[in-house]
């Protein structure tokens, strides 16, 4: 079989140090994942482009290497935007390769109208550097450009038409694509060790029924070396408070905090080292957004414990809307989370409080994936959002 431009792009990505990629399928990008598989790169198909992008970030955080995600343009890129926005806000090195409508304009399916999807303009508006590839000869320069952005801790994107990806590779250009040496992406395992704060309220004693008691119980139960992920809302805030001064890395998105990020990022991180336990603490609002990715953890037998705080509200809005009488807007519908987990093959257990966590984990399969669900307060007075402690926020 003769090699295609996608094959040479895949080889070049491996030569530049990419090990694993996450993505979602769609006509315009499909030559690429086929080529990535042919060259032996690990390809993970998530449940959505958003999940794939967050997984690539989690993998990047755990491995210290740049993340790689692919998808089709138009609706595919639209679903990837949450990950690109988080990568830009947090400084995650994430390379997105986005398949485009063929240079012939055909088929026009999924190209969103007469003017096309205009994906590059969208990426420019998001301040994601990169190049719209118009011919195979532009690929080496495009790769140099995006790799420089990644090395500076920024996300970057290449948009490539489907017919260019699928075109035969001309031998004349074969070397130029591979020529640049691999980047040394590797940085030590990071995460954000939460510094000790002399004004902190975190050291005050806590009651048994809140989010912080849950975090304490988890810290007491999981071995050292566990990778910790905290999702938007009180779960993340409680983790920040309890991790303060412990020197343990906590993976979260302190700038942008997209709901559901931790679920998919924990999955991505688990791919890096399948022997290392991963624990992800999430609220039920965040789970409504991305719990569907639990199925990816099941599919790949990943060692993740998902801990789900069910308070049946969006905690922040619930607190803020109280005075206006619009609190009902923040209410969440009842969900049989253990039933949902069971439908995906995810072993699950519901406990009533932090004191039952250790025993419940004993009763679940030891390695994961597994789910622990527990009820928590709508607004926990012991949990203070980090930005609420900042003097610049009134
Ligand atoms: C995608 C997205 N939409 C909205 C927000 C704003 N937001 C931050 S936390 C939050 C509520 C999260 O609810 P839940 O996961 O149930 O946790 P809880 O606040 O109840 O602890 C909202 C709406 C966000 N961070 N991300």
CA of 226 to the centre of ligand 1 (A): 25
Name the residue with the closest Cα to ligand 1, atom 16. 285
pLDDT in tens, 273-307: 999 999 999 999 999 999 999 999 999 999 999 99
Terminal-to-terminal C-alpha distance of the chain: 65
Nearest to 137 by CA among 28, 34, 18, 5: 5
Closest ligand 1 atom to residue 287 Cα is: 15
Name the residue with the closest Cα to ligand 1, atom 20. 315
Closest ligand 1 atom to residue 282 Cα is: 15
What is the helix (H) or strand (E) element at residue 67, kind and residue range?
A: strand 67-72
Closest ligand 1 atom to residue 284 Cα is: 16
**Ligand 1 binding pocket includes 257 (Cβ within 6 Å):** yes
Q: Look at residue 319 in the predicted model and tell me its pLDDT.
A: 92
Closest ligand 1 atom to residue 383 Cα is: 21
CATH of domain 201-389: 3.40.50.970
pLDDT in tens, 69-125: 999 999 999 999 999 999 999 999 999 999 998 888 877 777 666 667 789 999 999
Phi, psi of 71 (to 5 degrees): -165, 170
Residues 127, 88: contact at Cβ < 8 Å? Answer: yes
Cis amide prior to 107 (ω within 30 degrees): yes
**Residue 219, class by beta-carbon neighbours within 10 Å (0-12 exposed, 13-18 middle, 19+ buried)?**
middle
Q: How confident is the model at residue 5 (pLDDT cuts 50, 70, 90)?
A: very high
Closest ligand 1 atom to residue 313 Cα is: 20
By most ligand atoms within 8 Å of CB, the mutation choice from 232, 315, 383 for ligand 1 is 232
- Mean pLDDT lowest among 7-16, 161-170, 204-213, 316-325: 204-213
pLDDT, averaged across the chain: 89
**Ligand 1 binding pocket includes 317 (Cβ within 6 Å):** yes
Separation CA 270–CA 200 (nearest Å) = 32
Q: Is the pLDDT of residue 59 over 90?
A: yes
Q: Look at residue 120 in the predicted model and tell me its pLDDT.
A: 92
CA of 286 to the centre of ligand 1 (A): 6
By most ligand atoms within 8 Å of CB, the mutation choice from 83, 281, 285 for ligand 1 is 285
Per CATH, the homologous superfamily of domain 5-166 is Thiamin diphosphate (ThDP)-binding fold, Pyr/PP domains (3.40.50.970)
Residues 191, 61: contact at Cβ < 8 Å? Answer: yes
- Mean pLDDT lowest among 29-43, 97-111, 239-253, 353-367: 97-111
Q: Look at residue 208 in the predicted model and tell me its pLDDT.
A: 73
What's the order of all strands across the beta sheet hosting 20-23?
42-45, 20-23, 67-72, 94-100, 156-161, 130-132
Q: Look at residue 182 in the predicted model and tell me its pLDDT.
A: 47
Residues 51, 264: contact at Cβ < 8 Å? Answer: yes
pLDDT (mean) for 155-166? 96
Q: Look at residue 289 in the predicted model and tell me its pLDDT.
A: 98
Reported as half-sphere exposure (CB side, CA atoms, 13 A), residue 199 has a value of 6
Q: Where are the domains of the chain?
A: 5-166, 201-389
Nearest to 70 by CA among 114, 118, 112, 29: 29
| Predicted structure pTM score | 0.93
**Ligand 1 binding pocket includes 311 (Cβ within 6 Å):** yes
Nearest to 281 by CA among 204, 366, 221, 344: 221
String of DSSP letters for 297-345: HHHTT--EEEEEEE-SB-HHHHHHTTTTT-GGGGB-----HHHHHHHHT
Domain 5-166 and domain 201-389, same fold? Reply is yes
């Amino acid at each position: 079989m003769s090699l295609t431009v996608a094959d040479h792009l895949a080889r070049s990505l491996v030569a530049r140090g990419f090990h694993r990629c996450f993505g979602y399928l769609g006509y315009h990008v499909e030559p690429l994942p086929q080529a990535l598989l042919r060259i032996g790169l690990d390809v993970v198909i998530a449940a959505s482009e958003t999940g794939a992008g967050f997984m690539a970030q989690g993998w990047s955080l755990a491995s210290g290497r740049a993340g790689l995600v692919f998808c089709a343009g138009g609706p595919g890129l639209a679903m990837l935007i949450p990950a690109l926005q988080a990568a830009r806000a947090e400084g995650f090195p994430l390379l997105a390769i986005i398949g485009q409508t063929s240079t012939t304009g055909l088929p026009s399916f999924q190209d969103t109208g007469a003017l096309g999807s205009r994906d590059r303009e969208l990426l420019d508006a998001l301040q994601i550097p990169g190049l719209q590839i118009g011919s195979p000869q532009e690929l080496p320069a495009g790769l140099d450009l995006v790799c420089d952005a990644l090395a500076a801790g920024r996300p970057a994107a290449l948009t490539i038409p489907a017919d260019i990806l699928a075109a035969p590779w001309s031998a004349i250009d074969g070397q130029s694509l591979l020529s640049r040496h691999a980047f040394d992406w590797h940085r030590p395992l990071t995460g954000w060790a939460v510094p000790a704060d002399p004004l902190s309220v975190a050291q005050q004693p806590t009651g048994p029924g809140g989010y912080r008691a849950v975090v304490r119980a988890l810290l007491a139960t999981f071995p050292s070396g566990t990778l910790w992920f905290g999702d938007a809302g009180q779960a993340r805030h409680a983790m920040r408070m309890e991790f303060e001064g412990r020197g343990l890395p906590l993976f979260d998105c302190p700038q942008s905090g997209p709901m559901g990020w931790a679920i998919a990022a924990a999955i991505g991180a688990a791919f890096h080292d399948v022997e290392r336990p991963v624990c992800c603490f999430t609220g039920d609002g965040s789970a409504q957004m991305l719990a569907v990715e639990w199925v990816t953890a099941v599919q790949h037998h990943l060692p993740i414990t998902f801990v789900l705080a069910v308070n049946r509200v969006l905690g922040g809005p619930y607190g803020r809307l109280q005075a206006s009488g619009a609190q009902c807007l923040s209410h969440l519908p009842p969900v049989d989370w253990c039933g949902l987990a069971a439908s995906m093959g995810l072993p699950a257990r519901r406990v009533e409080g932090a004191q039952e966590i250790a025993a419940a984990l004993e009763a679940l399969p030891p390695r994961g994936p597994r789910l622990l669900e527990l009820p928590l307060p709508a607004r926990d007075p012991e949990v203070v959002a980090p930005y609420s402690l900042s003097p610049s926020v009134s």
